[in-house]
Amino acid sequence: MKIHNLSKEEVFRSLVTTYQGLTEEEAKKRLLEFGPNEIKETRKTPLLIKFLNQFTHFLALLLWIGAGLAFISEYLHPGEGMLNLGIAITGVILINAVFTFVQEYRAERTIQKLRGLLPFNVRVIRYGREREIPARETVPGDVVILSEGMRVPADSRLIETTYLMVNNAPLTGESEPIPLIHEPSDGDLIESSNVAFAGATIVSGNGRAVVFATGMRTEFGRIAHLTSAVEAGLSPLQKEIVKVTRIIAFMATFMGIFFFMIGHLIGRTFWENFIFTIGLIVANVPEGLLPTVTLSLVMGSRRMAKKKALIKTLTSVETLGSVTVICTDKTGTLTRNRMEVKEIWTPGGQPGSIGQPEVDTLMEIARLCNNASFVDGHYKGDPTEIALLTAAREAKASIVYQRIAEIPFDSERKRMTTLNAVEEKVFAYTKGAMEHILPLCSRILMHGVPQPLKETSKKEVTETCHSLMDRGLRVLSFAYREMGEREPCEKVRPEEIEKDMVFVGLMGIEDPPRPEVPEAIRKCNEAGIKVVMITGDGSRTALAIAREIGFIKGDPVIIEGHDFTKMTDRELQEKLAEKEVIFSRMTPKHKMRVVSVLKEEGERVAVTGDGVNDAPALKRADIGIAMGITGTDVAKEAADMILLDDNFATIVNAVEEGRTVFENIRKFITYIFAHGTPEAIPYILFALFKIPLPLTVMQILAIDLGTETIPALGLGIEPPEPRS
Amino acid sequence: MSARTHPAGLGMTYTKILAAVNEHLNSEVSARYAHHLAQTTQSLLYLCYIAEKGVSARDFTGAEEAVKRLFHKAKESGVRVESVFDSGDPVNKIKEIVRTEGIDIVFAATRREDIEKRFYAGTVSRKLSLILPCSVALVRVVHMGRIHPRTILVPLKARIHHISERTYFTAMLNRAFDSKLFLFHAQKKITKFFRGELHLTPIEWEKKIPHDILRFIDHLDRYSVRHEKRLTPGSAGRHIMIEAASKRHDLIVMGASERSLLHSFIWGNPVEEVLRETPCDLIILKPRYEDT
C-alpha cells in the first residue's frame, strides 16, 4: 500500500496532518527531522583531495623518492648538482599532477541544472491560512496550493483538483500534459494519476496536495542522486596508464638497485653509484607521457568537433574508440523524425480512397483529435500529429468545430481523446495504439454505417495493423463516439467517454531512416560493435525499421517494456548476450538498468539520451551521448559527448576517430619507451666501463619533457590507417 | 528474555516488542513498523513515551496523541498492545522497562543529530544500541509515501553475526508487508599489482559469494521468503544507495555497524553513509540473540 492507494482521509491520517495544514511549530519540527526540500550533490571526494591524489599515485611516489634522495645527497655531499636534480624531479611531479588533474576535472553542473527546475517559492496552508514560503521549507504533511504556471515543489498526493493538467517532462520525458485527479488509484506510485511530482509544471487548472516526500527523497531527487552518485569508472586509457606506470616503476627500481649493487661489486664509490642509480631511474620514467597523451586527446577532440561530435571530457576521445555496445534511441537518431502518412486503411473500403465516408470520418478524427497547428504557412507541434494534420488538410477542406475538452495522450494509456462540437452534435474522437483503441469499440464503421464489431472484423483490423507495422510504419487507430448531449467539462472522465466507440480505420505513418545510418550500422558490424535499439515504438515497427537499416539480419531478441520490468537481472543478462537485441515500448527510466547490466558483463557502453530522466544512464555509461538539437540542458550536462546533429552516423564517425586516437597513443607510447633504452644504455656503459657520461640527468629530463614531446605529438595526429 | 521457539523449529521469535514514541513524526512512523512486526509475530506491543525533563506541554500532548493513535490502530488490527508513560532519561527508563518486562526488541527512530554527528558519537541512537540488553531496530524515516514496503533491500556483509535473528527479523518484516527481498552484497574489488582492477561478470562474482551470505540465504529459504540476490564490486555505502535509488526500493534493512570509531574514521563507515543519504526508509538492526 502506498500513498496513492489511500483515500483523502487516510492520507491526512498517514501524514498526521489536516486539510488546514500543519501548524508553524509542527512544520519547523518536521523541517528539522526531514531536512530542507532541496536538491544537493551526494558527498564526493573534495577537489583538494582529488588534486592531492595526483601526488600520491605510484609513479609520483617513485619520483618523490628520487627527489628526496637527491635532496639528501645534496645535504650530505654538496656540489654534485643534486639540488638541481631534486628541484627538476619535483617540477616534473608538479607538471604531471597539474596536467592530469586538469584532464580529469570537469565542473559538475548537472545538479545545478536540476535545481533550476524546482520553484523558489510555494503557497501552502499553515494552520488554516494561506501563505507563501520558500520552497526549501516545504515539509511532509504540508498542504500546497497548485496553480497554473507554477512548478511542483515536492512529491505530493492530490486532495483537490479542478481541471488540473501537469507536464511531467522532467520525470517521464513526455512533453504532453496529463490530467491529474484526486481519487485513490492503483498501480505504481510513479505512474499514479493522483500524485504531482517535484519538478512537474502545472499547465492548467488548480488543486491542493499534501506533500509526502521532499528534497532528495522525491522522484526528482532520485534522478539527481543517481546522476551525482553513479560513475563510469576508469577509462581503458587510464587503466592502461596505471598498468604501464607500475611496470615502469618496478623495472626502474629493480634496475636502479641491481646496477647499484653491480657498481658496488666492481668497486665504484658510493656517490658515483648513487648518481648513477638516480640517473637510471629518471631515464626510465617517462616524464613526458601524460602531457603528450593530453595534447593528443585535445587534438582528437578538435577533429571530432569538426564532425559534429562535441567532446566534453578529454578521456572520452579514447574511450569512444573502445566502445563495444551502442544503446541508441530510434526516433530522431536512427530515423529523421519527419513523419509522413503513407497508408490509410478503412474496413471494407479500397485502400485510402478519398471520398469514401469512412475515409472522410478518419480524416476528420485525424484533424480534430490533434494538437498540431498550421500557422503562417508552417506546421507546429509533435511530428506524428503534424503528419496527420498534413494528410487531413490535403484530403478535406476546413471543418467548423469547437473543441470542448481533451483527454491527452500519455505513454501508459497510449491514446488521446478530444470532445468536439461539430454541426450541433458532440463527438468524442480518439486516436492511439490499436491494442488500446480496439477494446474500447463495440461497433465498426462500414460503408458509412456503424455496425456491430464482430470477431472476424477484429481479426481483420489486427492483421492489417500488423502487416502495416511489419513494413516499418507507425500505425495509429481511430475511433469516435457520438455523445448524447453537450457534456459539461466537469464530467470529462476517460472511463465515461472512451467506451462503446465506433472503430473507423488505421493510418500508417512512416519515419524514414536517415540515409547515412545503414552505412554506419555496417561499419559497426565490421568493427564488432553491437548496436542495441531502445524505442518507445511497438515491436513490429521497431523490427521493420531495424531490418530496413540493416541493423537486424537474423531473428532478434525483442524485449517489450512490460516484460523488461518483470525480468531479473540474470534473465536480462542472458537476453543481452544475444547478437541482435531490440527493446520496444520502453521509457527512459529503463535505460540505466540496461547500461548497468551491459557494463557488469564487461562491455564498454555508449548510450544516447535527451531527457532529464536520461541523466543517470548518461552518467553510468562509459560514454553518455546527449542530443544537441532535442536534448535538455540536464542531459547535455550529464553527457560526455554532445551530438550536434542528433545523428547516429556521427556517433560511429566519432568512434572511428576514437579508435584512431587510441592507435596513435599506442604508437607514441611505444616511441617514448623506445627512447628510454638509448637514454639508459650510456648509463650502464658509464657504470660498467667507466666511459664518460654522455648525458647528464638534467639533459635526460630536458629531452623527455621537451624535444621528445613534439615527435610524439606528430604520431598522435596521424590519420586512420586504411583498412586492408 | 522472553523469546520463544519458532513453531517450525527455526530458532527464536519475538514475543514482546517495544516502540519508543515521542512528539516527532518519525517516531510515530517508526512505531508503525513495530506494529506490523508485532502483528505478524503475534507479539505484545508496548508503546512507550518517556517525557524528558523540561518537555513543553505542547510536545507532551503531541506525543500522547501519537501514542493514542498508534494504540487504537493496533487494537483495530487485533494486536495486543500496552501503553507506557513515564518521565526521566529516555535511555535509562527504556532500559529499565526492557529488563522488567523482558522486551525482545526495541524500535526507535533516529534523530537529526544521528545524521549530523559522525559515527553517532554520544547520540541517543548509539546509547540505545549500546546500553539496551535486547535487540534494537533504529528506524530512519525519510519517505512518507511508501506506507507498506513492496520491495526491501537487504545489504549483507561478508561476515554476518547473529544470522538466525537477522533472517528472522527480515523474514517477518517481509511477511508483514508481503514484499519481495533483494539481497545485496558489495564485494571488495579484485586488483593485481601489474594488471590493475580485474573485471568479473556477475556469474563469476556469484562464485565468490561469502559463506555467511550462503548461510543467510539458507535460513531465509527455510522461511519460504521470495528473494533475489546481487553482488557488485565497489564501496558498500555508495553502491547500496545506488541500488536502492535505481531500483526504487521502499525499505533498506541492514545490520548495525561493528566497526570501531578509529576504523570508521580511517576507512569510513557504510552504515553511516547510508544513514545520511538513504533514498528510502532504513532500519538498522542491532541483534542480541546469539546463533544457536
pLDDT tens digits, residue range A677-717? 777 777 677 767 777 777 776 677 677 666 776 777 777 66
Tally of CB atoms within 10 A around B291: 15
Domain count of chain A? Answer: 3
Tell me the chain B residues in contact with residue A155 when contact means C-beta distances shorter than 8 Å: 145
Number of A–B residue contacts, CB under 8 Å? 111
> Is a pLDDT exceeding 60 seen at residue A496?
yes
Query: Chain A neighbours among B 88-107 (CB < 8 Å)?
Result: none
Chain B residue with the nearest C-alpha to that of A230: B242
Of A25, A32, A222, the CB nearest to B112: A32
pLDDT of residue A197: 94
Helices (H) and strands (E) in chain B, counts: 11, 14
User: Among the listed ranges A138-152, A549-563, B211-225, which one has the minimum average pLDDT value?
Assistant: A549-563
Residues A327 and A449 in one domain: no
Looking up cell 549530523 gives B116
Write down how long chain A is: 724
Write phi, then psi, for A697 (nearest 5 degrees): -60, -40
Amino acid at A312: K
What are the Cα distances from residue A108, in Å, to A46, A228, A408? 12, 9, 36
Residue A518: give its domain's CATH number: 3.40.50.1000
Helix residue ranges per DSSP H, A230-327: 236-265, 270-284, 289-306, 315-321
User: 3-class DSSP state for residue A20?
Assistant: coil
Contacts of B147 in chain A (CB under 8 A): 1-3, 6, 14
B175–chain A Cβ distance below 8 A for any pair:
no
For residue A216, the chain B residues in CB contact (below 8 A) are 277, 279
A593 falls in which pLDDT band (50, 70, 90)?
A: very high
Residue A461 C-alpha cell reads as 483490423
Residues of chain B with Cβ-Cβ distance to A226 below 8 Å are 242, 245-246
The Cα–Cα gap between B13 and B169 comes to 9
Same domain membership, residue A15 and residue A151: yes
B25, B202, B277: residue with CB nearest A573: B202
A475 φ, ψ (degrees, to nearest 5): -105, 130
Which pLDDT score is estimated for B6? 45
pLDDT (mean) for A98-111 = 71
List the single range of A16-30, A283-297, A335-349, A540-554 with lowest mean pLDDT. Answer: A283-297
Is A433 in the same domain as A331?
A: no
Lowest mean pLDDT among A440-449, A484-493, B55-64: A484-493
Q: Judge whether A614 counts as a catalytic residue.
A: no
CB atoms within 10 A of CB B23: 22
The verdict on residue A264 lying in a domain is: no
Grade residue B259 by pLDDT with cuts at 50, 70 and 90: low
The amino acid sitting at B12 is M
- Mean pLDDT within B10-36: 91
Residue in B28, B150, B279 nearest the CB of A225: B279
User: Helix (H, G, I), strand (E, B), or coil: what is residue A164?
Assistant: strand
CB A221 within 8 A of CB A215: yes
Helix (H) or strand (E) holding A576: helix A569-576
Helix (H), strand (E) at residue A518: helix A517-527
Pick one of 3.40.50.11810, 3.10.690.10, 3.10.20.30, 3.40.50.620 as the CATH number of B4-140: 3.40.50.620
The residue whose grid cell reads 541512537 is: B125
Among A152-156, B36-40, B143-147, the range scoring the smallest mean pLDDT is B143-147
- Judge if A444 and A572 occupy the same domain: no
My answer on whether A368 and A442 are in the same domain is yes
* pLDDT value of residue B156: 94
Report DSSP state, residue B150.
S
CATH of the domain at A160: 2.70.150.10
Neighbours of A75 (CB within 10 A): 11
Q: Do B197 and A216 touch (CB under 8 A)?
A: no
**Among residues A658, A680, A705, which one ends one of the domains?**
A658
Of A140, A212, A226, the CB nearest to B242: A226
Confidence tier at B178 by pLDDT (50, 70, 90): very high
List the alpha helices (DSSP H) in B11-119.
25-41, 57-76, 90-101, 112-116
- Mean pLDDT of the A260-281 span: 77
Highest mean pLDDT among A48-57, A107-116, A208-217, A648-657: A208-217
Q: What is the dihedral of CA A51, A57, A63, A66, to 10 degrees?
A: 120
More confident residue, A545 or A211: A211
Of the pLDDT bands very low, low, confident and very high (cuts 50, 70, 90), residue A722 is low
Mean pLDDT to the nearest integer, A633-641: 89
Produce one character per residue of B209-239: b if its CB has 16 or more CB atoms within 10 Å, e if not.
bbebbeebbebbeebebebebbbbbeebbbb
Task: Compute CA A556 distance to the chain's CA centroid, rounded to the nearest angstrom.
Answer: 24
> How far B194 CA sits from the closest chain A CA (Å)?
6
Check if B4-140 and B151-281 are the same fold.
yes
Whether residue A170 lies inside any domain: the answer is yes
The pLDDT of residue A373 is above 60:
yes
Q: In this predicted structure, what is the pLDDT of residue B2?
A: 46
Residues A489 and A430 in one domain: yes
Q: Within this chain, do residues A323 and A390 fall inside the same structural domain, yes or no?
A: no
**Residue that wins the pLDDT comparison between B210 and A668:** B210
Is pLDDT at B118 greater than 60 in this prediction?
Answer: no
The confidence score (pLDDT) of residue A408 equals 78
Question: Does the pLDDT of residue A190 top 90, yes or no?
Answer: no
Query: Which residues in chain A have Cβ-Cβ distances shorter than 8 Å to B28?
Result: 16
User: What pLDDT score was predicted for residue B7?
Assistant: 41
Is residue A190 in some structural domain? yes
Q: What is the pTM of this model?
A: 0.81
Q: What is the pLDDT of residues A65-77, one digit of tens each?
A: 878 877 887 887 7
Q: Is residue B1 very low, low, confident or very high in pLDDT (cuts 50, 70, 90)?
A: very low
Q: Which of A39-43, A164-168, B110-114 has the lowest mean pLDDT?
A: B110-114
Model pLDDT, residue B129 = 82
Query: Does some domain include residue A704?
Result: no
Domain housing A360: 340-510
Distance (Å, rounded) from C-alpha A538 to C-alpha A558?
Answer: 10
CA distances A136 to A17, A23, A35, A200, B143, Å, are 19, 17, 9, 16, 16
Nearest 5°: CA angle at B190, between B186 and B196? 135
* pLDDT score at B120: 56
> Does position A139 have pLDDT exceeding 70, yes or no?
yes
**For A589, nearest residue in chain B (alpha carbons):** B246
Considering chain B, what percentage of its residues have pLDDT values greater than 70? 87
Kindly indicate the confidence band of residue A302, based on its pLDDT and cuts at 50, 70 and 90: confident
Q: Which amino acid is at B269?
A: N
pLDDT value of position A98:
84
Q: Which of A119-123, A245-249, A609-613 has the lowest mean pLDDT?
A: A245-249
Is residue A266 domain-resident?
Answer: no
Q: What is the pLDDT of residue A642?
A: 93
DSSP state at residue A721:
P
Residue A484's CB is within 10 A of a number of other CB atoms, namely 8
Does B29 have pLDDT greater than 90? yes
Of A390-399, B1-10, B135-144, B185-194, where does mean pLDDT reach its minimum? B1-10
Specify the range with the lowest mean pLDDT, choosing from A93-97, A365-369, A509-513, A561-565.
Answer: A93-97
Give yes or no: residues A130 and A196 share one domain.
Answer: yes
Q: Is A89 among the domain residues? A: no
Quick one: A485 and A366 in the same domain?
yes
Q: Does any domain span residue A270? A: no
- State the pLDDT at residue B27: 93
Cα–Cα distance, B50 to B58 (Å, whole number)? 15
DSSP state letter for A312: S
Examine the domain organization and report whether A653 and A520 are in the same domain.
yes
| pLDDT value, residue A37 | 95
- What confidence score (pLDDT) does residue B8 get? 44
- Would you give the DSSP letter of residue A3? G
Asked if pLDDT for residue B10 goes beyond 70, the answer is no
Instruction: Express as a percent the part of chain A with pLDDT over 90.
Output: 31
Secondary structure element (H or E) that encloses residue B227, with its range: strand B227-233
Same domain, yes or no: A203 and A321:
no
Evaluate if residue B185 carries a pLDDT over 60: yes
Confidence band of A665 (pLDDT split at 50, 70, 90): confident
Asked if B147's CB is within 8 angstroms of A14's CB, the reply is yes
Mean pLDDT score of chain B: 87
Average pLDDT, whole number, for chain A?
84
Cell of A123: 503557497
The residue among A96 and A508 whose pLDDT is bigger is A508
Give residue A178's pLDDT.
81
Cell 550536434 sits on residue: A644
- Assign 3-class secondary structure to B98-111: HHHHCCCEEEEECC
pLDDT above 70: residue B117? no
When mean pLDDT is compared across A274-278, A301-305, A599-603, B259-263, the lowest value belongs to: B259-263
pLDDT category at B119 given cuts 50, 70, 90 is low
Q: In terms of DSSP bridges, do strands B227-233 and A501-510 run parallel, antiparallel, or are they unpaired?
A: unpaired
Mean pLDDT over residues A529-549, rounded? 87
Alpha helices in B201-260 (DSSP H): 202-207, 211-222, 236-246
Choose one of A215, A246, A265: the last residue of a domain. Answer: A215
Confidence of residue A167 (pLDDT cuts 50, 70, 90): confident
Domain extents in chain B: 4-140, 151-281
DSSP class of residue A442?
E
Let me know if residue A21 belongs to a domain.
yes
| Co-location of A440 and A317 in the same domain | no
Q: Out of A155, A186, A188, A329, pick the active-site residue.
A: A329
Identify the weakest region by mean pLDDT among A182-191, A268-277, A389-398, A400-409. A268-277
pLDDT value at position A108?
66
Supply the pLDDT for residue A253: 80
Which CATH number applies to B151-281? 3.40.50.620
Is A222–B279 a contact, with Cβ atoms under 8 angstroms apart?
yes
